[in-house]
Every structure is written in C-alpha cells, then in structure tokens.
Amino acid sequence: QVQLVESGGGSVQAGGSLRLSCTASGFTDNEYCMGWFRQAAGKEREAVATIDSDGWTTYVDSVKGRFTVSKDNANNTLWLLMSSLKAEDTAAYYCAARGGNTWCRPSALDYYPMQFWGKGTPVIISS
C-alpha cells in the first residue's frame, strides 16, 4: 500500500521560506512522476511542481524562481523548498505520485493524473 506523508508546513511572514517534505512508502515503480499540488480556500487544486524519476523538474509559472522541487531517492523523500513566499502562496500543500514518467509536468496532469495522494500540510503566509 502506497502512503505519502507530508510535513513542514506552518506559518511564516511574506518573504520568508519553508521547506516541505513528503515521505513515500510502498511505492516501487522505477519510472514515476511525483509532484506538489496546492489548494487555497475557495479555489481549485493546482499543480505547483513536478519531478520525474530521471530528475526532470517542471514548475507552474507563478512559482518559477521561488520554489525548488527535489528528491532523495535513498530516503524515499520528496522536498519542496519555497522561498520569497507571498500571501497568495497560502494553501494546503499536497504531495502526489504516479507510476510512469510520461508527461510529468503540471500542464499535463489533467490527462495523466496522479494515483496516490498525501493528506496535505497547511502553509500560511502573513503579510
């Protein structure tokens, strides 16, 4: 059974940084796509960043240059380093994964959806 568990959320002031982590267990695919999503109150969930099994990363325009997604294969951990945080980054952040690394990018995930999801961690940015 695949489990994804996020941690690292919290409350910070605008301009600050946070690092989210996602620990995966039970996920054995050699080719995969993993990513971070967020959902703000009253808004639809959006993909923020993805990384595939080859290490290719893709970001949604609103976070380019501020967020960095990375993975630690040895420890089955996905990271999201968020810097220069803005009030509009306030949301619940979710880790997700699927097998296969085809079209592993935020713009394609409606057609190649994630299979497994974490329960989320809150991020609150105060201005």
Q: Are 121 and 7 in contact (CB under 8 A)?
A: yes
Q: Are 60 and 80 in contact (CB under 8 A)?
A: no
Q: Using CB atoms within 10 A of its CB, is residue 74 exposed (0-12), middle (13-18) or buried (19+)?
A: exposed
Q: Are 11 and 55 in contact (CB under 8 A)?
A: no
pLDDT, one tens digit for every residue, the chain (127 residues) = 899 999 999 999 999 999 999 999 998 888 999 999 999 999 999 999 999 999 999 999 999 999 999 999 999 999 999 999 999 999 999 999 999 898 999 888 888 899 999 999 999 999 8
On the CB side of 72, CA atoms within 13 Å amount to: 11
